[in-house]
Amino acid sequence: MGLLVTFSIFNLLLLLLILLVCVNGGRIPSTVDGPFKPITIPLDKSFRGNAVDLPESDPRVQRLVQGFQPEQISVSLSSTYHSVWISWITGEYEIGEDIKALDGDRVDSIVLYGVYGKPLTKKARGYSLVYNQLYPFQGLQNYSSGIIHHVRLTGLKPNTLYQYQCGDVEEGISTNLYYFKTMPKSGPKSYPSRIAVVGDLGLTYNTTSTIEHLTSNHPDLILLVGDVSYANLYLTNGTGTDCYSCSFPDTPIHETYQPRWDFWGRYMQPLISNVPIMVIEGNHDIEPQAENQTFVAYSSRFAFPSEECGSSSTLFYSFNAGGVHFIMLGAYAPYDRTSDQYKWLEDDLASVDREVTPWLVASWHAPWYSTYTAHYREAECMRVSMEDILYKYGVDLVFNGHVHAYERSNRVYNYSLDPCGPVHITIGDGGNREKMAIAHTDEPGNCPKPSETIDPFMGGSCAFNFTSGPAAGKFCWDEQPEYSAYRESSFGHGILEVKNETHALWTWHRNRDMYKVSGDVIYIVREPEKCPSGQELRSRK
């Protein structure tokens, strides 16, 4: 009882601290009030918990359908409001040294749909595929998926609730009714009510807490900023670990246990069969296999609006959600200025009409601005290549994952406080089984060597010492950098509520708190008169 009282008192004190920090004169602070002095919330070790994966025996990940009945149903957006994608899987996967793939044409990909409360008068057909995860080494288990279906629904009305059934409806193999709501029509006064943002989910008991909290906030859209199932923390025989390279240093190829993707899809179905989810790839989704193939599960299991937005890849794309234009960038695809991604990004940014979509939000996996030792400045080459163009076109907000903690920046550009720079938010605290990021590079003895920050999949080394300011001549700061406004190591998720063309409310929610409590809250304020989009970069001293 005494321990519970101690926990309760701690929570009350922490809540009071947060209120004192976040509330300015009885109101929610905004970025116009900043830049803010850096805040670090001390680590609460008692509430960290153990990030333990859900076992295969958990009823929430079990296959509950028979034959070719659909399962793992999800909704994702097309590039505009009048179109969405419905995805699902039929049939059972196979795993073993010798496998026989299912016939992708065995069942049709059909969705019946209509406005809620009315007959399902519309029918759409899509396409199906089966993917393999193959290893050219004796003794490893190969995998062949069930039949994955993707169907695009078109001609939809904005901000409207629809109902649907999916499957081979002409053969009587279909689902019960599911529902989704379309995005509002793009315009300066038209926005989804709540956009949930989460990263580095995996499928642990911490993940389930995150999803329960997230669901309680009733989002209209979910943004998953990379690292989905963490199937690559397992050998092909199903043996898992918190650190693959530590436990299995001698494997000839980085193995994965692909059924973890199926478990993840089954667990998430109650939420994402009704709420659209948009995903961008992370490093745990690379999953190399035979013939140097990568990202096969990621690219096969989700539908992406790549073709609709002119992208040549599932690793980078864009879409609109009301008056917000989202740019999903690939940290693990070529991003230099001669790459297809960079050329696509230039065209996409140039085509954005800020009178129609005032808000410009970018997302990718590995953060440019993080003060944790984990993955510190790992994406520096990407930042050097792309930061200028994002600044030029006035990106308002950036979401990243990768670092398993929470951090929000002041407005920043090129490591300097800048009232026209975007706010960068790292939210890789979804709950996966890897360790939470705790150590900060500005703490004594924690600064890594530049040679230790290179990621083989991101390409090259662009590490350098700072040339001016409090960190001049150093690779790390000696104190929490001025660009870092708030940081805390705790599992959670975020909610973005765009109120109008200039104000958006951002709240971060810890898993350990009550559902409606906010750990961090701030208004992100656009100032288009001060920072017009498409502006030429100003000269820097």
Given the residues 150, 213, 375, 404, the one annotated as active site: 375
- Tally DSSP H helices, then E strands, for the chain: 7, 28
Question: What gap in Å lies between CA 372 and CA 375, rounded to an integer?
Answer: 7
340-351 vs 380-392: helix crossing angle, rounded to 10: 20
Among residues 493, 490, 501, 540, which one has the least CA distance to residue 524? 501
Strands (E) across 322-433 are located at 324-328, 359-363, 397-400, 406-409, 412-413, 416-417, 423-427
Spell out a b/e string for 370-397, using b for 16 or more CB atoms within 10 Å of the CB, else e.
Answer: bbbbbbbbbbbbbbbbbbebbbebbbbb
Question: What gap in Å lies between CA 75 and CA 85, rounded to an integer?
Answer: 6
Q: What's the order of all strands across the beta sheet hosting 359-363?
A: 39-40, 484-488, 406-409, 423-427, 397-400, 359-363, 324-328, 317-321
Question: What gap in Å lies between CA 117 and CA 161, rounded to an integer?
Answer: 9
DSSP assignment letter at 27? B
Helix H or strand E encompassing 21: helix 2-22
Looking from the CA of 498 toward its CB, the CA atoms found within 13 Å total 28
Q: How many residues does the chain have?
A: 541
Question: What gap in Å lies between CA 508 and CA 489, rounded to an integer?
Answer: 12
Three-class secondary structure of residue 514 per DSSP: coil
Three-class secondary structure of residue 503 per DSSP: strand
Cα 408 to chain centroid, rounded: 16
Token reading at 149? 């279906």
Angle of CA points 239, 241, 246, to nearest 5°: 120
Token pair 């950036």: residue: 398
Among residues 261, 265, 271, which one has the least CA distance to residue 221? 271
218 in active site: no
Question: What gap in Å lies between CA 275 and CA 318, rounded to an integer?
Answer: 18
Question: What gap in Å lies between CA 143 and CA 100, rounded to an integer?
Answer: 9
Catalytic residues: 375
